[in-house]
Amino acid sequence: MRALLPLLGALFLLGLFATLLPEGWPGPDLFLAYALWYAGARPYFLGLPVAFALGLLQDLLGFGLLGLHGVGLLMATYAHYAASRRVVAGEALGMGLAFLYAFLAKWAGYFLVAYWLRLEPPPLALGSLLLEGALTLPFYLLLRRL
């Protein structure tokens, strides 16, 4: 039950950000922040399936094709586990690098699924990508401090 409260808070905040942010701005990926927070305190055999299921939930809520976010969050969580072994997890710089590694792996997973389904990839706007990462990072750091 304790792990479910941040997920409900993330769903509430997603709706809030959808109305408060200007048109065309990407909101923070709170599902990614929640998946990384959940995986941070658990072994990989619990964190990876939960991240995939959380991505499927995100797809079912209408955020994308079924499986797109599942693969993205799975790759992000796997990358986070790999990065967390190589950096000092308690420091802000180490957590920031682990988040950056996971964020880039999430987008690599998205493009992998898009390539596999033979979808035409959307034009990659670097500003939009940086803005999403910058909006997601504070929530990730806040959840890690809980």
Interval 65-116: pLDDT, tens = 888 999 999 999 999 999 988 887 667 788 889 999 999 999 999 989 888 8
- What is the mean pLDDT of the segment spanning 116-124? 77
DSSP letter string, 10-50: HHHHHHHHHHHSPTTPPPP-HHHHHHHHHHHTS-HHHHHHH
On the CB side of 58, CA atoms within 13 Å amount to 26
- What is the mean pLDDT of the segment spanning 55-64? 86
Give the confidence band of 61 by pLDDT, cuts at 50, 70, 90: confident
Name the domain count of the chain: 1
CB 99 within 8 A of CB 107: no
Percentage of the residues of the chain whose pLDDT score is greater than 70? 95
Asked whether the predicted pLDDT for residue 10 surpasses 90, the reply is: no
Residue count of the chain, please give it.
Answer: 146
Which comes out higher in pLDDT, residue 109 or 3?
109
- What is the mean pLDDT of the segment spanning 1-30? 79
Tell me what pLDDT residue 5 has. Answer: 79
The SS3 assignment for 102 reads helix
Tell me what pLDDT residue 1 has. Answer: 61
Instruction: State the residue range of the domain holding 51.
Output: 3-144
Write down the pTM of the prediction. 0.88
